[in-house]
Amino acid sequence: MSRSVRTSPEGSGQGLNEAYDTALLDLDGVVYAGGNAIAHAVESLGTARDGGMRLAYVTNNALRTPDTVAAHLTELGIATDAGDVITSAQAVARLISEQVPSGARVLVIGGEGLRVALRERGLEPVESAEDDPAAVVQGFGGPELPWGRFAEACYAIARGVPWYASNTDLTIPSARGIAPGNGAAVEVVRIATGAEPQVAGKPLPPMHRETILRTGARRPLVVGDRLDTDIEGAFNGEVDSLLVLTGVTDGAQLLAAPPQHRPTYVDADLRGLLTGQPEVTGGADDGFRCGGWTATAGEERLELAGDGSPLDGLRALCAAAWTAGGERGCGLDSGKALARLGL
């Protein structure tokens, strides 16, 4: 993938499962939400896998172990081994292991996923700042994480112990809506200490490195629902990406995206893995065309004319918005155009 400014979603004459050897799939908001499979996910992933595409599940959620995640996916109908799951807990554990002695104690503020990943790297998880830790690591601990765990992190960090975070996602999708993520918890410790953690998860390089080391992917496609983690992570790793609209990103956010948040492809859900992607044609002078739609950028708003698939209309609007936005996000009003598409 070129690091030049993307001004339009790309087309593909092949199904994406044929054009790429490995799908690096986010979980929350892509495969499931609140533990329940998202519509069309199970069938689409099964078809992609049966056609020869490797499926790897790459998640910033550090709470659950790869074994637990694999068992959950298998229960949903997606046959998965623990080795197919890569977590931010694994990425941050490798990062810590490269900076502290083997066997060092690490204060854990989070769940079992962090503890398992640390032991995999030869480190000893501990629970208190009084246990003489060489590092503090913070990952998503779920809604039951006691407030006192943040205090333990603060006590250790105030003594000069280096602080690491699995990821800084401010939110996480759930069956009931959008809930606070690990990034919100990290902010609690940041405000209390004034310190800054080293962060491993998407969109930063340690997570991409962990994923490539564990999968050996040669032509990977990142599949995600978040612009600031999945899509930016693909941009930083210089690989292609597919945004699915089953999670936290809506049409207005996509149209306003700065260059590092612009996906290679856009589709409604994981059925997009199995199809080609339509090409956007035209230009700023005569409008950008996809399917039966033509999109242009006016002085104050994005304009949309025609009829057809809402996704084609969104792709045309992306081209108009991203071209107008250049190296910045597009600030034009997109409300009326998106309303026409029902987005």
Query: What positions carry a catalytic annotation?
Result: 26, 28
- Helices 88-97 & 112-120, crossing angle to 10 degrees? 40
- Whose tokens are 């910033």? That residue is 60
Instruction: Give the sheet arrangement for strand 265-267, strand by strand.
Output: 85-87, 54-59, 22-25, 220-224, 240-244, 265-267
Identity of residue 29: G
First to last CA, the chain: 28
Q: Give, in order, the Cα–Cα distances in Å from 1 to each of 80, 222, 262.
A: 29, 12, 12
Alpha helices (H) along 15-162: 16-19, 41-50, 66-76, 88-97, 112-120, 148-158
- Whose tokens are 């199904």? That residue is 15
**CA–CA distance, 240 with 23 (Å, rounded to integer):** 10
Contact 183, 78 (CB under 8 A): no
